[in-house]
Structure 1
């Protein structure tokens, strides 16, 4: 059993909670509140900007050109390809992508970004990858689960979103392979930190869906809006 096989087994509980989350199931059903989708896009746009910056830090930690090239390609993919599922949601709610950019982060997204940045800044390259991996991995499995359960066709309102992530297996496997290699050279103490980083990112992935569905705000903002 590989290191990432162990990670997946140890975090089955959170993966299943993600699959069952009402926002994720709403994608499968093709029914979600417009305000929840807008809240998700606003936060995810900034989250992906942070993902790009973490990849940049990973390049600075890389010793081999193969590693540098990998993270460079991931930056290009995030900038130029991961806009496609966002655009699918934007089309559904009838709001331009540009209108949903540049917003402050809700608490959960803010915490998630700082969690990734912490491991990128003070941790090893293995810890950095462990903190990053739950995002592409859970999204790939979400896509697969929704295809299996709902069999969406081209007429489904979120067909493009579901298909984009259901077809992302190769990207997930490549990141897993790289993390497995790094884990093989890591001490038991570093492996423990990698496991902790991975599980916390899984928890925050689940929290991100809940944050989006509830349109989470900072407590002081809720107080002001209720006055």
Structure 2
């Protein structure tokens, strides 16, 4: 099996995630500012747990090669992506201390703890299956938004978000994630109990992504 099998096993949930109204309104510039600010603050908290998940992947590794594998992603998260996120949020009037003090919304708690719990209870493959919807989905969304006619870049306050996730650097990083996941899945039959369990992990994490968008929309009401 491979990553596309995981997506195919939850096609409706995947569509709900990658074509969510939050994303579509962001693309045409009509997303409520308060929804976006809530998303930015919660995404900061999410990224901290995302880094913890990559640290857990090292803990769960058996060989030195396996231990080295997640290290670039962990280093990039802590040294580069979190810094860029803080700098970007500063342009929206949010400081790092503001975001550190922000309470975690229910969707953030549910999603991040699900990923960490999956990794703790299972193995590296379980963990990376739970992490996959985030990295793969954002790359898919970035490309879709860049190519669809309804996306407006000129005068769109969210243009930089679209350009980030459709950009070559993020797309290349996602391809590396896909190749790593596919190598883990290659020897697992899709219709086996193990394969179906991984599909369910991926589907649940995808549903969590839908809830993550929705909590931003709900914050604007």
Where does residue 221 of structure 1 map in the other structure? none
Report what 2:100 is aligned to.
101
Farther-moved stretch of structure 1 (132-141 vs 56-65): 56-65
Tell me the equivalent position of 2:171: 169
Q: How does 1:1-227 map to 2 (within 5 A)?
A: 2-83=1-82, 84=84, 87-88=87-88, 90-91=90-91, 93-149=92-148, 150=150, 152-153=152-153, 155-167=155-167, 168-186=170-188, 188-215=192-219
Counterparts of 1:51 and 1:186, CA distance in 2? 25
* Structure 1 position 162, deviation (Å): 1.0
Paired with 1:154 and 1:81, the residues of 2 have a C-alpha distance of: 27
Per-residue deviation at 1:90? 5.0
Structure 1, residues 87-124: CA drift from partner, whole Å, max 9, x if none?
A: 54552x43334423332211111111111011111101
Q: Taking structure 2 as the reference length, what is the TM-score of the superposition?
A: 0.86
Structure of higher RCO (CA pairs closer than 8 Å, 6+ residues apart): 2
When structure 1 is superposed on structure 2, of 41-50 and 119-128 the one drifting more is 41-50
Please report the RMSD computed on the Cα atoms of aligned residues, expressed in angstroms. 2.3
Q: Distance in 2 between matches of 1:31 and 1:87?
A: 23
Q: Distance in 1 between matches of 2:33 and 2:98?
A: 14
Q: Contact conserved, 2:45 with 2:99, CA < 8 A, in 1?
A: no
CA shift, 1:199, in A, is: 0.6
Runs of 4 or more off by more than 6 Å in structure 1?
A: none
Q: With the length of structure 1 as denominator, give the TM-score of the two structures.
A: 0.84
Structure 2 residues without counterparts, runs of 5 or longer: none
Aligned residues: 214
Unaligned runs of 5+ in 1: 217-227
Tell me if structure 2 keeps the 8 A contact 1:15–1:202.
yes
Q: How far did residue 64 of structure 1 move?
A: 3.4
